[in-house]
Structure 1
Amino acid sequence: MLLAQTLRSAAAPSSFRALRVPRVVGCRTFAAASAPAGELKKTPLYSLHVEAGAKMVPFAGYSMPVTYPGQSLTESHNHVRTKAGLFDVSHMVQHRFKGPAALPFLEKLTPSDLTLLTPGTSTLSVFLHPVTAGIVDDLIITMLTPEDFYVVTNAGCAEKDLAHIAENLATFEGRAGVEHTVITDHALLALQGPNSELHLGDFLTRAGAENFNLREFYFGESKLFQTVTMGDLRVARGGYTGEDGFEISIHESVAPTAAKDLLEQSNEGRVRWAGLGARDTLRLEAGMCLYGHDLDDTTTPIEAGLKWLIGKRRAMDGGYHGHETLSRQYNDWKLVERRRVGFIVEGAPAREGAEIISPEGEVIGKITSGCPSPTLGKNIAMGYVKSGFHKAGTELAARVRGRDRKLVVTKMPFVELNYYRKP
C-alpha cells in the first residue's frame, strides 16, 4: 500500500491507516516499468486479475492489468462504450483533509474556488508549484462537509504529492486546523459505461442498501451508501472514460467479493473486466489528460486548456501557488505561448514525442498522447502547439518515422460525453 502520514497529532479514524511520508524522489508516470517485478505493489484485486488471465504490467509502481483474454483492446473499449466495464483503479491515492482550516489549505495548493462546492459535490483541480504555476498533479476534490474533503490523486505522483502536501502544511499558518490522512485500506473500483447505473443498482440491492435512488444521483456528485454485506461505500458519479459511470471506494477486505458480484451477477449486457489499454484509448477519445504525458511540472492549467477550473474569485484575489503567473495568463492570451489541442491524424498513428511541424517546416510542438480511435475508426492525438496554430481546422504535420503525416487540429472531446448530468 502507499506510504502516507497523518499530518496532525490527533488519532486517525479506524477506517484509515497512517504511515510516514517519504522524501520526494520524483514522479513516476504512465508505464513506469523501471522497478523490478518483485518490488511492484499489488492492489486488493490482484489475485482476481491473475485468475482471469490478465496480462499484468508495471504501472505507477503497481502490477496492473492491461488486457484480458477473450477480448481484444478494441472489443474491451467498445464494451465500455456500449455496455459496462469494471476497472481496478485501487492504485490511485485516496486522501481526507479535515478540520476548520482544510478548505483554506486546499485553496492554497489549488486555484479552485472550493466555496462553490456543496456537500456531496466534486471538482477537478490541480496542485500547483509556486511562481511557475506548473502542475504538480491533477486531482478530484469532493466536499463531504465544509470541514471534510475527500481527494483522489495519481499513484504515479504519490511520493511527490505527499512531500508537497507535507512541506506546505508545515508552513501553513492554520496548520493546527488541518488533519491530512491517506486512506490505505480501501480499494477503488470504476464501473463505467451506459449500463453502469443498472448494474450498480442491482449490486446495491444485493448488498442490502435501502432507500437509494440512482436517478437522483448526478455527474459530479458523491454519496455514501450503507450496505449490509459490503459496509459503507463512498460512490462518486463520474470517471475517466467519457461515459456514465461510478467510482466506488470500498474496504479492501470486501473489494474482491464486490468485484466478483458485479462481474458474475450482472445481466443486460454483463459487466466485463477492462484494463489499462482500454482505459487509455477511452480517456483519449474523451479528451482527458494523463499526468506525466499531457500534463507535467512545466505545464500551466491555462496552457493545458484547463482555464475553466480556475475560479473567477481566485483569479482576481490570488492567494494560491502560482497565482501571479496564472493571473497574467488568465487575463491575456498573448502571454500563453503554447496550447494543448486535439488532432485527427492521417496515415500512421502519431505517438507521444512526435514533433509537430508547421506548413513552413518549423517545429512548433510535440504530440503527448496518440492512438487509433476504436469509436471513430481514425487515428487521434493530443499535444501542444505554439499559440496561433491552435485553432480548429488548422492543418499541420507530425513527423512519424521520418515521414510527415497530416494533422488537422480538432476540437476535443473527440466523442460525445455521455455523463448523467443534473437537469
Structure 2
Amino acid sequence: MLLPHTTRLASTLRVAVNSKFSVFSRFYSDAAPGTLAKTPLYDLHVAKGAKMAPFAGYSMPVLYSGESVGESHNWVREKAGLFDVSHMVQHRLTGPGALPFLHSVTPSDLTCLPQFRSTLSVFLHPVTGGIVDDLIITSHGPDSFYLVTNAACKEKDLAYIATNMKPFSSDVKHEVLTGQGLVALQGPLAKDILTEYLTGLTGTPADLSKLYFGASMFVEIPSLGERLHVARAGYTGEDGFEISVSERNTETVTTGLLDVGSAGGRIRLSGLGARDSLRLEAGMCLYGHDLDDTTTPIEAGLKWLVGKTRVMDGNFLGAETIGRQYNSWSFVPRRRVGFFVEGLSAREGAEIVEKGTDSVIGKITSGCPSPTLGKNIAMGYIRSGFHKQGTEVGIRMRGRERSGTVTKMPFIETKYNKAP
C-alpha cells in the first residue's frame, strides 16, 4: 500500500457503508481531471459504471454502479474481487550491486530471502529512521530483484533511489517497468478462478496449491506472447494473487478472469472503497496516513521486518535510531495499535486522550465502519504505556469525546495460504 505532508491526499473517511456511492474523501485530491493519468483498465472501469476519483495522480475506481462499499467489501470476503492496482510502481534492480544497495536503504535481511519469495520492507530516512515508503521486494535471483512501491510516492522514491544508488551505480541497473499493468485477484475463490483461467490459456492443468503466500512464479502464455508474473499476495487479508502483465494485455487478462469467474457468479470488479476497508480490517497500513517519514518501523509495529543481523551490522540508513528501538522498548515513544470506537466512526486526525482527562496521548490515522464486524474500527498511534490491549481511551470527534478501546490487530483473522 508517500507524499510529504503538504501534498498528502485528504484523509477523512466519510462513509455510510450501505449507501450506493459513499464518498471516500481520502481518494480525492485537488488535481485537475485533465492532469490525471489513466491505467490500462480505465475504459473498462468506465464501461462497468465505476465512480472514478483522483488518487495518487491517477483516475481510479472507488465503487461500481449498483452496489455499496459494504456490499463490495463483503463480496471479496465471501467470493472474489478483482482490483486494478496498475497505478503502483513496478521496478527491477539487477547486477552485483543490487543486494548491497537494498541493504543500504532497508533494514531487511535479504540474504535470507529465497528466490521467488517476497517480503514487505521499507525505505528508510537517513537521520530519523522514518519510513520513506513501504514496498514489496521479490527475489528473482542473487542479483535480480522485483520491487513494487506506492504510486503516490513515485517522484519521491525515484529521487531517493537515484541519490542513494550513486555509490553502487556502476554495479546495479534500475528500471521502472512503465509498460506493465498490475491486477489483484482477492478472496476465497481466487485460487479456483485463476487456476481455471491459466489452465484454459495454456492447455495444461495449472497447480497453484503449492504456491504459498509470499511466493511467486512466471507463467508462460504463448497466446499472449509473454509470461505473467504471478505472486500469491495482496492487501486485503484474504488469499489472493497479484498478476503483473504487459500494458497491452492487461485488459485481456482482466476480462478473461472476469469471464471465467462469471460462471457461478464468483467474481466482481472492486474499487478503492472496498480496498480501504478490507486492508484496515486486516490491520494493514496506508502510506501517508498510517506511515510517514517520521514513523519508524518499530513504532509502526513492523519490527518483524527488521533483520536481527542487520541491527548488529548497522549498515543501513537510520540504523542508530532503529537499533536503539529494536533493542529496547524504552526508546519507542509511541505504538501503532487498533481501536474499537463507540458511536461515530473515528476519522484520521482525531485526538486520542487519556480517559477522563484532557491529556492528548495520540492520534487516529485510519478509521471506518467494519462491514465484517458491524462495529467501528480504527488504527492510530498512542503513547507507550497506553498501548496495551483493553486500555480504555477517549477519542475526540466533532467536539465530542467518544469511548475507544485499544485492541489487537488484525481485527479479523487473515486467510493467507501459508506453507505448512
Q: TM-score range by the shorter chain?
A: over 0.9
CA–CA distance in 1 between the matches of 2:202 and 2:259? 17
After superposition, the C-alpha distances for 1:341-377 in whole angstroms (9 at most, x for unaligned) are 0000011111101000102331111100000000000
After superposition, the C-alpha distances for 1:141-164 in whole angstroms (9 at most, x for unaligned) are 000001000000000000000000
- 1:165 equivalent among 161, 167, 170: 161
Q: Counterpart in 2 of 1:200?
A: 194
- 1:352 equivalent among 334, 348, 352: 348
CA–CA distance in 1 between the matches of 2:175 and 2:7? 20
Deviation at 1:32, TM superposition (A): 5.3
Structure 1 pair 272–107 and aligned structure 2 pair: CA distance change class (3 A): same
CA–CA distance in 1 between the matches of 2:280 and 2:5? 28
Q: Say yes or no: does 1:75 pair with 2:71.
A: yes
Q: Please tell me whether the aligned partners of residues 282 and 413 of structure 2 are also in contact (alpha carbons under 8 angstroms).
A: yes
CA–CA distance in 1 between the matches of 2:38 and 2:245? 16
After superposition, the C-alpha distances for 1:371-392 in whole angstroms (9 at most, x for unaligned) are 0000000000000010000000
Q: Say yes or no: does 1:238 pair with 2:230.
A: no
Which stretch of structure 1 is more off in the superposition, 243-252 or 224-233?
Answer: 224-233
Query: Aligned AA for 1:370?
Result: G
The ranges of structure 1 where at least 4 consecutive aligned residues each deviate by more than 3 angstroms after the TM superposition are 24-30, 209-212
Query: Aligned AA for 1:383?
Result: G
Which stretch of structure 1 is more off in the superposition, 225-234 or 114-123?
Answer: 225-234
Q: Please tell me whether the aligned partners of residues 26 and 157 of structure 1 are also in contact (alpha carbons under 8 angstroms).
A: no
Percent same amino acid at aligned positions?
Answer: 62
Structure 1 pair 258–321 and aligned structure 2 pair: CA distance change class (3 A): same
Structure 1 pair 28–253 and aligned structure 2 pair: CA distance change class (3 A): farther
Q: Counterpart in 2 of 1:276?
A: 272
Query: Aligned AA for 2:197?
Result: F
CA–CA distance in 2 between the matches of 1:32 and 1:99? 39
Q: Please tell me whether the aligned partners of residues 196 and 206 of structure 2 are also in contact (alpha carbons under 8 angstroms).
A: no
- 1:407 equivalent among 381, 404, 411: 404
Deviation at 1:31, TM superposition (A): 2.7
Structure 1 pair 123–27 and aligned structure 2 pair: CA distance change class (3 A): farther
3-state SS in 2 of match to 1:308: helix
Which stretch of structure 1 is more off in the superposition, 360-369 or 286-295?
Answer: 360-369
Structure 1 pair 25–376 and aligned structure 2 pair: CA distance change class (3 A): closer
- 1:37 equivalent among 22, 33, 52: 33
Q: Counterpart in 2 of 1:298?
A: 294
Which stretch of structure 1 is more off in the superposition, 300-309 or 254-263?
Answer: 254-263
Query: Aligned AA for 2:91?
Result: H
- 2:389 equivalent among 392, 400, 406: 392
- Structure 2 gaps of 5+ residues are 10-25
Deviation at 1:25, TM superposition (A): 11
Deviation at 1:27, TM superposition (A): 6.1
Q: Please tell me whether the aligned partners of residues 139 and 151 of structure 1 are also in contact (alpha carbons under 8 angstroms).
A: yes
CA–CA distance in 1 between the matches of 2:102 and 2:7? 21
Deviation at 1:131, TM superposition (A): 1.7
After superposition, the C-alpha distances for 1:311-331 in whole angstroms (9 at most, x for unaligned) are 010011110000000001111
1:143-182 to 2 correspondence within 5 Å? Answer: 143-170=139-166, 172=167, 174-182=168-176
Q: Please tell me whether the aligned partners of residues 199 and 205 of structure 2 are also in contact (alpha carbons under 8 angstroms).
A: no
CA–CA distance in 2 between the matches of 1:32 and 1:96? 30
Query: Aligned AA for 1:199?
Result: I
Deviation at 1:191, TM superposition (A): 0.2
3-state SS in 1 of match to 2:209: helix
Structure 1 pair 158–258 and aligned structure 2 pair: CA distance change class (3 A): same
Deviation at 1:252, TM superposition (A): 0.9
3-state SS in 2 of match to 1:123: strand
Q: Counterpart in 1 of 2:416?
A: 419
CA–CA distance in 2 between the matches of 1:217 and 1:27? 39
CA–CA distance in 2 between the matches of 1:259 and 1:159? 28
CA–CA distance in 2 between the matches of 1:235 and 1:209? 17
After superposition, the C-alpha distances for 1:147-203 in whole angstroms (9 at most, x for unaligned) are 000000000000000000001112x2x321100000011100000000000000111
CA–CA distance in 1 between the matches of 2:126 and 2:217? 34
Q: Counterpart in 2 of 1:257?
A: 252
CA–CA distance in 2 between the matches of 1:392 and 1:271? 37
Structure 1 pair 317–32 and aligned structure 2 pair: CA distance change class (3 A): farther
Q: Please tell me whether the aligned partners of residues 209 and 228 of structure 1 are also in contact (alpha carbons under 8 angstroms).
A: no
Q: Say yes or no: does 1:85 pair with 2:81.
A: yes
After superposition, the C-alpha distances for 1:6-26 in whole angstroms (9 at most, x for unaligned) are xxxxxxxxxxxxxxxxxx998
3-state SS in 2 of match to 1:71: coil
Q: Please tell me whether the aligned partners of residues 125 and 309 of structure 1 are also in contact (alpha carbons under 8 angstroms).
A: yes
Q: Please tell me whether the aligned partners of residues 209 and 226 of structure 1 are also in contact (alpha carbons under 8 angstroms).
A: no
Query: Aligned AA for 2:236?
Result: T
Query: Aligned AA for 1:139?
Result: L
CA–CA distance in 2 between the matches of 1:109 and 1:142? 16
- 1:326 equivalent among 319, 322, 327: 322
C-alpha RMSD over aligned residues: 1.4
How many residues are matched? Answer: 398
Q: Say yes or no: does 1:316 pair with 2:300.
A: no
- 1:370 equivalent among 353, 367, 372: 367
After superposition, the C-alpha distances for 1:233-277 in whole angstroms (9 at most, x for unaligned) are 001101000000000000111111111111122224421000000
CA–CA distance in 1 between the matches of 2:97 and 2:249? 33
Q: Say yes or no: does 1:227 pair with 2:221.
A: yes
Q: Please tell me whether the aligned partners of residues 92 and 174 of structure 2 are also in contact (alpha carbons under 8 angstroms).
A: yes
Structure 1 pair 127–282 and aligned structure 2 pair: CA distance change class (3 A): same
1:112-123 to 2 correspondence within 5 Å? Answer: 112-123=108-119
